[in-house]
């Protein structure tokens, strides 16, 4: 079924580690580890309102989705795909992604034929989800784009012009489509005249974590893990020093990777730390925090 909206083609001196609530300059936390294979402890960004009167499966050769933003930073754990009338599998492996405003693909999964985790809505339609290898923290206020690459066809389904209810703090902006017909999975950048859809993609966020205040300009911009080494880059002030600590639950931060870190010249600082040196090399999930140290008295 071809949507009719479109062009013809479709913590020092050593001090007690402060609690999360006590941190005035808290960087965006980097989430390291493995997302849950099932859907427990997560919530979907969008709940489609039954009945779905305009949905189905048909021809498709583009990336379809929507732009969105968050009122507070959230840990993204799964990406999902709409399935029409109880169909449980796409006919081909289906790529789903989230891009940031600069066009960087920040999260991606592939739902294979016969794969994914089903979330049945109870009325015949459902979503199929795949866990990210590593959860990704999406920032507050950033405009993101979610998209599904519909190559060959739109299986297992595509809903458009349908009503939906977003979770609190999730802001749906515009339906989007790509203009690439050569088989590429790309960020959809063309606004559609559709006011509600395309659905397509859905997202799931972690429910088990506290939601801290991410209003500070101090933020982690890059995280890389190579064997036992974690490397962080954060926005910094050359006149400041920093402390980098870690948590398993976002409630307490029991250990430091380092403190008294002088900022690099320029706008960012990059440092590498040993996971085994901190005793966290075997943890499935790890939160990393960067803070400015207070001036010496």
User: Tokens 């479109």 correspond to what residue?
Assistant: 6
CA–CA separation, 253 vs 105, rounded Å? 30
pTM attached to this predicted model: 0.66
Q: What is the CA radius of gyration of the chain?
A: 21
Fold of the domain spanning 212-292: Immunoglobulin-like (2.60.40)
Q: Spell out the per-residue pLDDT of the chain, length 297, in tens.
A: 333 333 322 222 222 222 222 233 333 455 555 556 678 888 999 988 765 655 665 666 788 899 999 887 788 999 998 887 666 677 888 999 999 988 999 899 999 888 888 886 555 568 889 998 878 888 778 899 999 988 777 778 787 777 788 998 899 998 888 876 656 889 998 888 766 667 889 999 988 765 544 445 677 777 888 889 999 988 888 999 999 999 887 778 899 999 999 999 988 999 999 999 999 888 877 888 888 888 776
So where are the chain's domains?
A: 37-206, 212-292
CA–CA separation, 75 vs 209, rounded Å? 9
Q: How far is CA 225 from CA 57, 89, 194, 287, in A?
A: 40, 33, 41, 13
CA–CA separation, 57 vs 46, rounded Å? 20
**pLDDT value, residue 263:** 94
Q: Which residues have CB under 8 Å from 264's CB, separation 6+?
A: 236, 238, 270
The CATH architecture that domain 37-206 belongs to is Sandwich (2.60)
CB neighbour burial string for 196-221, b if at least 16 within 10 angstroms, e if fewer: bbbbbbbbbbbeebebbebebebbbe
Q: Are 76 and 107 in contact (CB under 8 A)?
A: yes
- Same fold for the domain at 37-206 and the one at 212-292? no
For the chain, the helix, strand and coil percentages under 3-state DSSP, each to the nearest 5: 0, 45, 55
Q: Are 205 and 76 in contact (CB under 8 A)?
A: yes
CA–CA separation, 114 vs 93, rounded Å? 9
Helical spans, DSSP H, in 99-241: none
């Amino acid at each position: 079924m071809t949507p009719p909206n479109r062009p013809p083609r479709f913590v020092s001196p050593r001090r007690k580690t402060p609690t999360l609530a006590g941190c005035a300059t808290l960087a965006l936390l980097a989430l390291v580890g493995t997302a849950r294979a099932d859907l427990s402890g997560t919530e979907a960004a969008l709940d489609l309102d039954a009945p779905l009167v305009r949905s189905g499966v048909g021809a498709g050769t583009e990336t379809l989705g929507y732009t969105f933003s968050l009122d507070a930073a959230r840990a993204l754990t799964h990406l999902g795909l709409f399935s029409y009338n109880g169909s449980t599998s796409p006919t081909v492996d289906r790529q789903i992604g989230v891009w940031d405003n600069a066009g960087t693909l920040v999260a991606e999964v592939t739902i294979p034929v016969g794969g994914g985790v089903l979330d049945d809505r109870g009325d015949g339609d459902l979503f199929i989800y795949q866990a990210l290898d590593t959860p990704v923290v999406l920032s507050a206020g950033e405009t993101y784009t979610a998209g599904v690459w519909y190559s060959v066809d739109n299986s297992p389904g595509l809903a458009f012009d349908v009503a939906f209810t977003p979770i609190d703090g999730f802001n749906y902006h515009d339906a989007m489509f790509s203009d690439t017909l050569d088989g590429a999975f790309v960020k959809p950048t063309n606004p559609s005249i559709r006011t509600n859809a395309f659905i397509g993609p859905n997202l799931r966020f972690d429910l088990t974590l506290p939601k801290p205040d991410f209003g500070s300009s101090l933020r982690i911009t890059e995280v890389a893990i190579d064997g036992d080494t974690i490397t962080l880059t954060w926005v910094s002030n050359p006149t400041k020093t920093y402390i980098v600590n870690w948590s398993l639950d976002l409630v307490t931060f029991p250990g430091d990777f380092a403190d008294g870190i002088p900022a690099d010249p320029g706008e960012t600082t990059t440092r590498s730390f040993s996971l085994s040196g901190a005793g966290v090399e075997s943890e499935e999930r790890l939160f990393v925090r960067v803070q400015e140290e207070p001036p010496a008295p």
